[in-house]
Amino acid sequence: MKIENEKVVVVTVTYNSSQFLRRQVESLKKSTIPVDKIVVVDNKSNDEHWDNVKKIALDNAKIDLLRQTDNLGGAGGFEKGVEYVLEKYSDYDWMWIMDDDAFPREDCLEKLLKFKDVDNLGCLSPMIYGVELKEYQYYHPKNASKFLNSNIAVTTDIKELSEITPIEINAFVGPLVKLSVVKKIGVPDGKLFIYGDDREYTYRITRSFKMFLVRDAVINHRDEVMDNGKINPKGIWKEYYHYRNSVLFIRKYKRTTLQEIIGELLLVKDAVRTSLSTLKHTRYRHYRAIRIRCVWKGLGDGLFGKSGKSIDPVEFNKKYIHQ
């Protein structure tokens, strides 16, 4: 089948960020290979953003808009979106997954589909570049470490990359997944709520199929949210989901009990290092206790197998982050 005849559905999740969604939709309109459908999952944005999201959908006949009754997190949003695709567009060829702050360049899809006929292919991923800094975000395409407790960047130097490079893990910033593969592996795990759902899903793909980083396909992505050059304290709650979901990942994909034990001990070591760093650095002087609490509560809940929306980011920031 010619590239032009491939049917592609985009799945994106938005929450109080209609300005990014609008930019994303405009980027998709310029694609040299047109997408056929755009499934937008709104995670119960506030009234202002929801009105904007509805306007964006009304202006584009390709958009199917799914409004959630609660903020399900990125994981829950993508779970609902992929379920919808399997129900409505199961005859399509590809599903293109992206956060709403990802903006494909005009030829991104065309460059990805160039490799659509690779044997046992599951997914093709574009290179991710920051919108403002214009730098390659090397920390997204990764391979799992030996004990599954961390990820290893494929490379920090793009000159080392081949035209296509095999990878095991990637962010939800433009992976193009074969629909036939989605039917076999299922939907993203909504119980993770946020942080690590993309890691789990792409790693699930690569347990049975190949995933490649395509050097010449590029998607732009919003740079890390910073506050005066430091990590924004409003993101401290993410520490909880990072540690909890890291434990759940190890337990799901461990090959041996020894691998699980060592992986979890390495996470404990990392939690100790994070706690000591929090006590040392002045950037967290107003939030030391709550950050350390998030780290260890996440680790503990993971060890006890707890999942779901355990911390509501909005309520957390209202209670603990005073800015």
pLDDT at 229: 46
> Is-above-0.75 flag for pTM?
yes
The fold of 3-224 is Spore Coat Polysaccharide Biosynthesis Protein SpsA; Chain A (3.90.550)
Q: Which of 178, 10, 6 is nearest to 78 (CA)?
A: 10
Contacts of 32 (CB under 8 A, 6+ apart): 106, 107, 109, 110
Instruction: Report the amino acid identity of residue 152.
Output: I
pLDDT digits (tens, 9 = 90+) for 235-261: 999 999 999 999 999 999 999 999 999
Residues 110 and 32 sit within 8 Å (Cβ to Cβ): yes
Secondary structure element (H or E) that encloses residue 65, with its range = strand 63-67
pLDDT above 60 (res 228): no
The span from the CA of 158 to the CA of 69, in Å, is 42
The pLDDT of residue 94 is above 50 = yes
* Residue ranges matching CATH 3.90.550.60 in the chain: 3-224
Confidence of residue 227 (pLDDT cuts 50, 70, 90): very low
Please state which of the ranges 154-158, 196-200, 213-217 shows the lowest mean pLDDT. Answer: 154-158
Percent helix, strand and coil across the chain, each to the nearest 5: 45, 20, 35
Residues 167-185: pLDDT tens digits?
999 999 999 999 999 999 9
pLDDT recorded at residue 321: 85
* Region 40-59 average pLDDT: 97
